[in-house]
Amino acid sequence: MITAIVTSKGQIVIPSKIRQHMSIKRGTKLYIEEKGDELILRPVTPRYFEKIAGVLSTKGKLTKLLLEERAKDRKKEA
pLDDT reported for residue 55 = 62
Who wins on pLDDT, 1 or 20?
A: 20
- Which residues are CB-neighbours of 55 under 8 A, at least 6 positions away? none
Residue 10 has pLDDT above 90, yes or no: yes
Residues 6+ apart with CB under 8 A from 12: 4, 5, 6
> What pTM value is reported for the model?
0.54
**pLDDT, tens digit, for every residue of 15-73?**
999 999 988 999 988 989 999 999 999 888 777 667 766 666 667 677 777 888 888 88
What is the reported pLDDT for 1?
Answer: 85
